[in-house]
């Protein structure tokens, strides 16, 4: 365990966390495939990449795979020399994977070092007659792997009989894919009449992409057709980048009374496997090549999932932009309604104009101010003050416009989001077609706070003693209403000669303000008041749009596309350094004395039997028709799917 290996394990953990944290909940094109790829990538990290990276010297695992009826179990039986797997006409025959290993390698496979999600069941080759009534119970151990230690299996290489890759049972197909992904090398079985089928070639394409070592067993070849069929198969392999894969031809042969092939039929396959098992350098080469290919495939898968993640986020961004645009448009419509003078029409505004005195607006401030002050006094003698009426009228109108536009925006956003299947998926179970129940109170609060901000503006502007005295003489409320009228008028903010053609209440209110503050100050006050109101209205509508966050944010949470790509690139870079010479870290040197004994126990040459917690004892149950079979425990304890953390 070198510093480079520890660094690679850290990068592998980072990639796994990023993959595990990627959210792909939206039902868009390619999402199902991306989710399946992500699950397969995480599973392969747990099942193969991490354990192989931790223990580069562990025995190899050769997985025997192939289509239904390809003769996988028959081949495994022939390799071992005794019927250890269930082979017959019933499909699927392999309901539970069987892992054959040398007794010296027990410790490597009895623990959850590889395939941690599968429980271990201890099996044994028995000569006792089977009890047919027990067959279904023994075969029903889904989620487990049967371990069979047999001296006829060479050391340093275990053989695993996998379910059919094209099984009619979904769980069998998924398990077959999982086991093949956890293999150091494949022994792929096909037949003379099925070697061109599409399903096996999809898996062989995957093997080529992963640079995994593959041996192809071509069975049931009719006499005299060996050369032709083998040549055609080799050409197909070469076209798929597997030209160096050995091809073993097994002629069509009669099985003996135990259902066994003649020993000579599989002699070449046995020699090939034994040669690998007995050559340490070749084992290391195969393990390193398969590991590098698996990591390269992981990086490519992570990049593809990152692309899928970006597509999900792009959909969410579009939906969010749709909702935001609809509510921003609503805010703009509120602004338009408060600019065109609509809120200033009616009897109340006419009384406001009379109150201020249209005929006096062009006179000097002194004479106008005197009459205006007298008029204010008259209004307060038993009559409702016009400023109060105008203020209430404006409040009511502004409030009604905002509430109406909030409702319109909610309905429009709901309709536009639900135009797409993804939008309907997100909006399922939600009710955002109407504004929030508190929108009335929010709008009323907005008006009150805006009015208070106007008073603060006026107070700040009336800092001088003379200006302050004028404001106090007329009343702060009158000045505030005048500013509101100017803001809501289509002519608000006009000065000088522009007022000649403006007319109306706005001119009256504006002239009143100009006599107190001056033209430039009025222009600034009106602009500030308008900007403040627009900002508050946009904030109100944005709060209504933010109700969609509860539906959109779960998609946005988790690892991002860049995080995935960076984790994949970091792992690839770290793996490149694993093969380079490096000194062990100080931490590992210091811990050698502590860990030495534990590592020695896992050494293939001196492996001790697995502990009681690792593998359950076997019930002496036999299956088959008088032939030796595997006895399996029906009560295997399931593993939790994750190894205990042991790094550092």
| The pair of three-digit structure tokens given for residue 280, joined into one six-digit string | 């340490």
Does one domain contain both 497 and 619?
A: no
- Are 107 and 200 in a shared domain? yes
Global pTM reads 0.72
d(CA 479, CA 485): 10
Range in 109-123, 384-398, 439-453, 614-628 with the lowest mean pLDDT: 614-628
Residue 227 CB burial class (10 angstroms; 0-12, 13-18, ≥19): exposed
Examine the domain organization and report whether 81 and 223 are in the same domain.
Answer: yes
Q: Which residues have CB under 8 Å from 30's CB, separation 6+? A: 308, 311
How many C-beta atoms surround the C-beta of residue 277 within 10 A? 20
Number of domains the chain is built from: 2
Residue 107 belongs to a domain with what CATH number? 3.40.50.300
Residue 6 contacts by C-beta under 8 Å, 6 or more apart in sequence? 585, 588, 647, 648
Assigned domain for 4 exists: no
Angle between helical axes of 465-474 and 365-379 (0-180°, round to 10) = 40
pLDDT in tens, 18-64: 999 999 999 999 999 999 999 999 999 999 999 999 999 999 999 99
**369 and 515 together in one domain:** yes
Burial of 634 (C-beta count, 10 Å sphere; 0-12/13-18/19+): middle
Range of the domain at 343: 338-556
234 and 370, same domain (yes or no):
no
Extended beta strands in 166-273, E state: 185-191, 213-221, 247-251
CA distance 339 to 485: 10
Give pLDDT, residue 345. Answer: 55
Whether 362 and 489 map to the same domain: the answer is: yes
CA distances from 573 to 210, 233, 455, 568, 580 (A): 17, 37, 64, 9, 12
Q: Is the confidence at residue 423, as pLDDT, over 60?
A: yes
Output the average pLDDT for the chain.
78
Question: Is residue 614 predicted with pLDDT exceeding 90?
Answer: no
Is pLDDT at 546 greater than 50 in this prediction? yes
d(CA 79, CA 299): 36
Question: Mean pLDDT across the stretch 433-461?
Answer: 91
pLDDT at 365 over 90: no
- The pLDDT value given to residue 620: 32
Burial category of 356 from C-beta neighbours within 10 Å (exposed 0-12, middle 13-18, buried 19 and up): buried
Please count the other Cβ atoms lying within 10 Å of the Cβ belonging to residue 183.
26
Kindly state the tokens that stand for 20: 């595990």
User: What is the CB-side half-sphere exposure of residue 624 using CA atoms within 13 A?
Assistant: 23
The residue written with tokens 């004479």 in the block is: 367
- What's the pLDDT tens digit per position in 117-141? 999 988 876 544 443 333 433 444 5
Residue 529 lies in a domain: yes
Q: What is the pLDDT of residues 484-514, one digit of tens each?
A: 877 877 554 444 443 433 345 556 667 777 7
Is the domain of 84 the same as that of 209?
A: yes
Q: How confident is the model at residue 579 (pLDDT cuts 50, 70, 90)?
A: low
399 is a domain residue: yes
Task: Tell me: pLDDT of 467 over 80.
Answer: no
Q: For residues 86 and 81, give the distance between their C-alpha atoms in angstroms, rounded to a whole number.
A: 14
Which of 556, 572, 601 represents a domain boundary (last residue)? 556
The SS3 assignment for 329 reads helix
Asked if residues 623 and 609 have their Cβ atoms less than 8 Å apart, the reply is: no
pLDDT in tens, 138-153: 444 568 899 999 999 9
CB 492 within 8 A of CB 530: yes
Indicate whether 633 pLDDT > 60: no
User: Measuring CA to CA, how many Å separate 239 from each of 196, 226, 243, 248?
Assistant: 13, 20, 7, 18
Residue 557 CB coordination number (10 Å): 10
pLDDT greater than 70 at residue 442:
yes
Of 556, 590, 623, which closes a domain?
556
Q: Are 214 and 244 contacting, i.e. CB atoms less than 8 angstroms apart?
A: no
- Of the chain, the end-to-end C-alpha distance in Å amounts to 10
Q: Is residue 105 part of a domain?
A: yes
Tens digits of per-residue pLDDT, 85-115? 765 433 344 467 899 999 999 999 999 889 9
Check whether residue 208 and residue 101 sit in a common domain: yes
One domain, residues 379 and 474: yes
What's the CA gap between 256 and 387, in Å, rounded? Answer: 110
Indicate whether 173 and 265 sit together in one domain.
yes
Q: Are residues 196 and 64 in the same domain?
A: yes
CB of 492 within 8 A of CB of 335? no
By the 8 A CB rule, do 17 and 554 touch? no
> Do residues 439 and 410 touch, judged by C-beta distance below 8 A?
no
Residue 97 located in a structural domain: yes
pLDDT at 2: 86
Going by their DSSP bridges, the two strands 119-126 and 629-631 should be labelled as antiparallel
**With bands split at pLDDT 50, 70 and 90, how would you rate the model's confidence at 296?**
very high
Query: Which of left, alpha, beta for 633 (phi over 0: left; psi -120 to 50: alpha)?
Result: beta
- What was the pLDDT predicted at 638? 43
**191-244: per-residue pLDDT in tens?**
988 888 888 788 888 888 888 999 999 999 998 899 999 999 999 999 988 999
Q: Is 457 domain-assigned?
A: yes
Tell me what pLDDT residue 549 has: 95
Is 66 domain-assigned?
A: yes
228 plus 82 within the same structural domain: yes
Report how far residue 26's alpha carbon sits from residue 426's, in angstroms, rounded to the nearest whole number. Answer: 8
* Residue at a domain's end among 516, 533, 556: 556
Please give the share of the chain, as a percent, with pLDDT higher than 70: 72
pLDDT reported for residue 418: 95
Tokens read off for 386: 């016009």
pLDDT band, residue 521 (cuts 50/70/90): confident
Is pLDDT of 465 > 70? Answer: no
Q: Residue 204's pLDDT is what?
A: 87
Order the strands of the 629-631 sheet from edge to edge: 247-251, 213-221, 185-191, 60-66, 157-161, 98-101, 144-149, 119-126, 629-631
> Residue 380: what pLDDT?
42
Separation between Cα atoms, residue 449 and residue 443, nearest integer Å: 10
Residue 410 lies in a domain: yes
């Amino acid at each position: 365990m070198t510093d480079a290996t520890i660094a690679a394990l850290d990068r592998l953990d980072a990639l796994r966390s990023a993959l595990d944290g990627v959210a792909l909940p939206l039902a868009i094109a390619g999402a199902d495939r991306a989710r399946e790829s992500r699950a397969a990538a995480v599973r392969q990290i747990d099942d193969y990449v991490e354990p192989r990276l931790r223990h580069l010297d562990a025995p190899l695992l050769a997985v025997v795979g192939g289509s239904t009826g390809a003769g996988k179990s028959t081949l495994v039986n022939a390799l071992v020399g005794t019927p250890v797997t269930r082979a017959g006409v019933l499909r699927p025959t392999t309901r539970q994977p069987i892992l054959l290993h040398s007794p010296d390698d027990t410790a490597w496979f009895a623990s959850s070092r590889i395939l941690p999600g599968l429980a271990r069941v201890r099996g044994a080759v028995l000569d006792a007659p089977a009890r047919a009534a027990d067959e279904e119970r023994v075969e029903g151990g889904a989620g487990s792997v049967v371990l069979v230690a047999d001296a006829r299996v060479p050391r340093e290489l275990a053989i695993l009989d996998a379910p059919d890759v094209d099984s009619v049972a979904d769980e069998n197909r998924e398990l077959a894919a999982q086991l093949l992904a956890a293999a150091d090398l494949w022994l792929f079985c096909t037949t003379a009449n099925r070697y061109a089928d599409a399903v096996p070639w999809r898996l062989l394409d995957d093997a080529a992409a992963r640079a995994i070592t593959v041996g192809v067993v071509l069975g049931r070849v009719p006499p005299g057709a060996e050369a032709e069929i083998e040549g055609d198969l080799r050409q197909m392999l070469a076209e798929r980048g597997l030209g160096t894969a050995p091809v073993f031809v097994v002629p069509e042969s009669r099985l003996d009374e135990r259902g066994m092939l003649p020993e000579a039929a599989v002699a070449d396959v046995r020699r090939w496997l034994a040669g690998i098992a007995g050559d340490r350098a070749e084992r290391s080469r195969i393990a390193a090549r398969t590991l590098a290919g698996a990591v390269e495939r992981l990086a490519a898968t992570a990049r593809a999932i990152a692309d899928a993640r970006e597509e999900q986020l792009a959909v969410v961004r579009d939906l969010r932009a749709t909702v935001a645009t609809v509510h921003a448009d609503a805010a703009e419509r509120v602004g338009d309604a408060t600019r065109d003078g609509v809120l200033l029409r009616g009897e109340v505004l006419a009384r406001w104009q009379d109150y201020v005195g249209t005929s006096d607006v062009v006179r000097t401030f002194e004479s106008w101010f005197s009459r205006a002050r007298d008029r204010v006094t008259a209004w307060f003698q038993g009559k409702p003050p016009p400023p109060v009426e105008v203020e209430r009228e404006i409040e009511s109108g502004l409030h009604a416009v905002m509430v109406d536009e909030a409702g319109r925006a909610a309905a429009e956003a709901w309709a536009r989001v639900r135009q797409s299947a993804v939008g309907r998926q997100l909006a399922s179970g939600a009710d955002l077609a109407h504004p929030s129940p508190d929108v009335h109170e929010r709008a009323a609060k907005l008006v009150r706070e805006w009015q208070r901000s106007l008073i603060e503006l006026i107070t700040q502007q009336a800092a001088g003693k003379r200006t302050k005295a004028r404001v106090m003489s007329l009343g702060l409320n009158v000045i505030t209403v005048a500013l509101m009228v100017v803001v809501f008028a289509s002519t608000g903010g006009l000065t000088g000669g522009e007022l000649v053609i403006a007319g109306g209440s706005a001119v009256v209110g504006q002239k009143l303000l100009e006599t107190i503050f001056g033209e430039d100050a009025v222009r600034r006050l009106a602009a500030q008041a308008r900007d403040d109101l627009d900002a508050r209205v946009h904030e109100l509508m944005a709060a209504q749009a933010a109700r969609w966050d509860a539906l959109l944010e779960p998609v946005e949470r988790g690892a991002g596309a860049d995080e995935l790509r960076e984790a994949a690139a970091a792992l690839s870079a770290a793996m490149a350094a694993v093969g380079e010479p490096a000194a062990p870290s100080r931490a590992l040197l210091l811990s050698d004395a502590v860990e030495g004994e534990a590592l020695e126990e896992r050494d293939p040459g001196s492996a001790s039997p697995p502990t009681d917690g690792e593998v359950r004892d076997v019930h002496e149950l036999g299956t088959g028709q008088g032939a030796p079979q595997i006895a399996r425990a029906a009560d295997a304890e399931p593993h939790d799917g994750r190894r205990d953390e042991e790094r550092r």
